[in-house]
């Protein structure tokens, strides 16, 4: 029989937050796959645990994934941990979990700390539904798209961000959502210098420009409280119809296609297509 892949949540900072179940598992498991072996070795030493420690991070070569799968298929258990919090949530691990499942290997989560849930719980902003965007791109069209999506979102939106880029994110969100939209910046959660700062995007951007942040950051953006307006289907229909016509499709075929894919009535689709040059 193959071993089991355990997905183990570890403390964000305070070692007292490690669950009893997680501590017992880390003492018993023969192999631990860690994002940063130096940080995880400190945790294991604290627990008196001595498993084989292997690095597994975002830039690991394919061979490391194959090595871990081989260990599991040989019948030994592996615990996957990240630097802090729950693995495979804006952290390495998704590919290993997917490969283990594809190979028929049991995957067992050991729940525990999560920066997302921790920040939401302390924000005082609605957390019954939320959008998690993690680390968004530093620049480009995808960043603009996600910023616009966050600004229009009905529910709270949670980001992770690196300290040098926090002010840029706050300023971009202020431009898209308005400077008076509220947000919470949660810094160094559960650690000695934990800081939870609630304010408007404008206030927070000004504060962190004057007081550059350090440590790990989670940002919770207040939602609009109302559903986002429906997308402009006419603009999308014109763009799609133009491309289809350029590709050689007849106008009759284009009418049928955009009617089906965009939910336009046949009459509206016909009128739009016939008005195109």
DSSP conformation letters of 50-118? --EEEE--TT--HHHHHHHHHHHHTT--EEEE-SSB-TTSSSTTHHHHHHHHHTT-EEEEE----HHHH
Residue at which a domain ends, from 113, 148, 169:
113
pLDDT value of residue 265: 85
**CATH at 212:** 3.30.950.10
Mean pLDDT, the chain, as a whole number? 94
Please report whether residue 40 resides in a domain: yes
Contact 56, 80 (CB under 8 A): yes
pLDDT band (50, 70, 90) for residue 247: confident
SS3 state at 162? coil
Rounded CA-CA distance 176/166 in Å is 16
Nearest to 30 by CA among 87, 96, 78, 69: 78
* Residue 53: domain span: 4-113
| Number of structural domains found in the chain | 3
**Residue spans of alpha helices (H) in 103-165:** 115-123, 141-152
Q: Is the pLDDT of residue 231 over 90?
A: no
Residue at which a domain ends, from 81, 113, 145:
113
Rounded CA-CA distance 189/78 in Å is 27
160 and 81 within one domain: no
pLDDT band (50, 70, 90) for residue 237: confident
Q: Which residues fall within 8 angstroms of residue 113, CB to CB, at 6 or more apart?
A: 9, 10, 11, 12, 17, 84, 85, 86, 190
pLDDT value of residue 232: 65
The structure's pTM equals 0.81
How many residues would you count in the chain? 277
Please report whether residue 178 resides in a domain: yes
Please report whether residue 259 resides in a domain: yes
Nearest 5°: phi and psi at 186?
-105, 115
103 and 78 within one domain: yes
95 and 67 within one domain: yes
Residue at which a domain ends, from 113, 137, 166:
113
CA dihedral 233, 234, 238, 244 (to 10 degrees): 40
257 and 210 within one domain: no
| pLDDT (tens digit per residue) in 49-106 | 999 999 999 888 889 999 999 999 999 999 999 999 999 988 889 999 999 999 999 9
Q: Is the pLDDT of residue 266 over 90?
A: no
Rounded CA-CA distance 208/175 in Å is 16
Please report whether residue 51 resides in a domain: yes
Over range 16-37, report the average pLDDT: 97
Over range 17-38, report the average pLDDT: 97
Distance of CA 8 to the CA centre of its chain: 18
Tokens representing 172 are: 């971009």
Rounded to a whole number, what is the distance in angstroms from the first to the last CA of the chain?
66
């Amino acid at each position: 029989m193959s071993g089991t892949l355990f997905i183990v949540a570890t403390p964000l900072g305070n070692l007292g937050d490690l669950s009893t179940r997680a501590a017992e598992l880390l003492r018993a498991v023969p192999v631990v796959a860690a994002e940063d072996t130096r940080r995880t070795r400190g945790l294991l030493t604290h627990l008196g645990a001595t498993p084989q420690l292997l690095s597994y991070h975002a830039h690991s070569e394919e061979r490391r994934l194959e090595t871990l799968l081989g260990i599991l298929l040989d019948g030994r258990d592996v615990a996957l941990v990240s630097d802090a919090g729950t693995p495979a949530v804006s952290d390495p691990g998704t590919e290993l979990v997917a490969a283990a499942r594809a190979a028929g290997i049991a995957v067992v989560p050991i729940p525990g700390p999560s920066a997302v849930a921790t920040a939401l719980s302390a924000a005082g902003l609605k957390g019954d539904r939320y959008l998690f965007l993690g680390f968004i791109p530093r620049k480009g069209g995808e960043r603009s798209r996600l910023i616009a999506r966050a600004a229009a979102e009905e529910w709270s939106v949670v980001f992770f961000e690196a300290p040098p880029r926090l002010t840029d994110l706050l300023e971009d969100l202020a431009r898209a959502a308005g400077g008076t939209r509220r947000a919470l910046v949660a810094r160094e959660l559960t650690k000695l210098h934990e800081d939870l700062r609630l304010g408007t995007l404008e206030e927070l951007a000004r504060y962190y420009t004057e007081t550059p942040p350090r440590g790990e950051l989670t940002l919770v953006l207040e939602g609009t409280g109302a559903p986002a307006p429906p997308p402009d289907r006419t603009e999308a229909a014109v763009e799609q119809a133009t491309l289809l016509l350029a590709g050689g499709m007849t106008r009759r075929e284009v009418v049928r296609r955009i009617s089906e894919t965009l939910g336009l009535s046949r009459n509206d689709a016909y009128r739009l297509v016939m008005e195109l040059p």
